[in-house]
Structure 1
Amino acid sequence: MLFTKSSEVKSGLHIPLPQEKTSISQQSLLTSEEKVLLLSLARNTLETYTKTGTSQKLDHVTDKLPLRLKEKYGVFVTLKKSGELRGCIGHILPRTSLFQGVIENTINSSSNDRRFPPVDAKEVSDITIEISVLSPLEKIHDPVEFMVGKDGIIIRKGPASAVFLPQVAVEQGWGRAETLCHLCQKAGLSRDAWKEDGMEFYIFTADVFHEGDRT
């Protein structure tokens, strides 16, 4: 099922997750200036890539970026056109610097989300960019610990896995049980698979910001 009005995240065949429980520490929120820099970076990347098929050169600005943007975070980039989802791909776990993750996932969201055709340069002016910077993951043992409106959630059972960012359930108007049912469907499982033995649950929070925010 495709939820075109949400920041739905593309489900992969395998989501690498920590083997041990990881506590979510209080995530230091990005400053307004850092958010503006990341959104500008994503916008410039989108414009450059859709026109040239290549990413912009950053050699002249990398040294001037704030240190936090060079740290590793999980990050997703969501593209919306007229309020409708146009692409969303990201990294669950920290795998590269935050600024590089924004570049990579802007490109992937615009060209490699299989649910949509690649973004055309003519569309760029109609697209709004949203960035979600993820906290560390925490493994939970009871889905009742999943807090709608606060947490993003990942489920995994065998080779099947799927993820929703924290804003998805809110945008769709879902409660906890309904969110978990849709997440199971997204993973290719039965709607009630989240009630079965062997299901793994991971939660996380996200610092979500988008173009047009008054940060």
Structure 2
Amino acid sequence: MLSSIGPSSIGRALLLHGAGGGGWEWNAWRGVLAASGIEAATPDLQPAAGGLARTTFDDYLSQARSALAALPRPRALVGASLGGLLAMACADEADALVLVNPLPPLPWSTALPARDWPDVVPWRRDARLASTRRALPDSDAATVLFAFRRWRDESGAVVRAAHAGIEAIRPACPVLCIASTQDEDVPPGLTRGLAAAWNAQLLQAPSESHVGPLLGRGAPALALQVCTWLSAR
């Protein structure tokens, strides 16, 4: 099936992970993109020198901009969850934008579920195999174990800023929004609303979770659909 897709005009892509995760979340996508002629960079967002408690949204945004600028054009920018919001904030330097269950910018962020965040969100410390399994209902056992061993703690300031609302301007490049059928972290209706307002194409992912499009059994097939979309840009 991969051979049916011709070489994409997009030769490079920067893939930004979500809060508490890492570049490893894109393992399934990276192989599919490579088979379609797209070289993917999947960096880990790094805490500031003062540690996670002193890390801000702008610290991550600076890293994302630098990583994107290092890729030759034409280049795609792909972000999931928090990575999606970071991608929107630097989409002016991208030639195509793909948003996977993204934390939405203002004004849609006001509808996100309310939560309190400590200075360091202890997702690594509090990780349990059972809770990881519940978070990944559409993943196989090996992926659940892989993810359980790799969750990391996160900056509370970054997550608070994202939920409080970040301004993002509709980019000039083509935009593809992907929404899971079920998502308790970013309700699908918010992604649909963003897609409609930005005149973006919307793809409904047959996933039952927030991170399912990256870590679920259907992740390779979804990545292939994204490659098809990019090849037409």
What TM-score, normalized by structure 2, do the two folds share?
0.28
Structure with the higher fraction of residues in helix conformation: 2
What TM-score, normalized by structure 1, do the two folds share?
0.29
Structure with the higher fraction of residues in strand conformation: 1
